[in-house]
Structure 1
Amino acid sequence: MDRVRRHIVFYGYVQGVGFRWKAKNTARRLGLSGWVRNLDDGSVEMEAEGTERDISDLVEALENHSWGSVERIESERVPVHGDYSFEVR
């Protein structure tokens, strides 16, 4: 399957609720690479690389995160980087 990379921003109650930890662990379990970080406006920014299906599974897991709430998601395809791990920045 072709690898893709998506730049994704999550808006809502997504900081201080374990969101980045869940993103990192779920991405690693799915074999995705990339990164996740908090932004000053209270949103969380992420880039994930892998199959489109695995990235969709990651986003779905984060939308259903039990401690926070995602109100809106912005997502776009970006060039593949060929990373080997997923990290919290």
Structure 2
Amino acid sequence: MHKVRITANGRVQGVGFRFSTKILADSLGIYGSAENQDDGSVKIIAMSEDKRLLQQFVEQVKRSPAPFGRVDSFQLERDESITETHRFTTN
């Protein structure tokens, strides 16, 4: 399982960013979560057996899956210690 931790900054809260990220994840079979952070960013945990689909997910998150969202900065960290899940949730 390939696992990443993403932090997206920009216009990512209050614009449907987490909901759109879940729709994208579900369409690609990506598991994990999207959660608003107190600093205005969104933390995303994403995992997949298929590295290509995970890369596609990451690239689309960089461009903002939300029509009114905007990602100004983006941090990506591979983290194999993330606990596996078999669904995508928003908190």
Number of residue-to-residue matches in the alignment: 87
State the alpha-carbon separation in 2 of the partners of residues 75 and 47 from structure 1: 10
1:11-68 Cα offsets, whole Å, 9 max, x none, are 1111111100011111011111111100011100000001222122222222333211
CA RMSD of aligned residues (A): 1.3
Structure 1 unmatched ranges of 5 or more: none
> How does the TM-score come out when normalised to structure 2?
0.86
Runs of 4+ with deviation above 3 angstroms: none
Q: Which residue identity lines up with residue 84 of structure 2 in the other structure?
A: G
Q: Which residue identity lines up with residue 73 of structure 1 in the other structure?
A: F
Kindly state the Cα deviation for residue 73 of structure 1 after the two structures are TM-superposed. Answer: 0.6
Structure 2 unmatched ranges of 5 or more: none
> How does the TM-score come out when normalised to structure 1?
0.88
Question: Is the 1:5–1:49 contact (alpha carbons within 8 Å) kept by the matching residues of 2?
Answer: yes
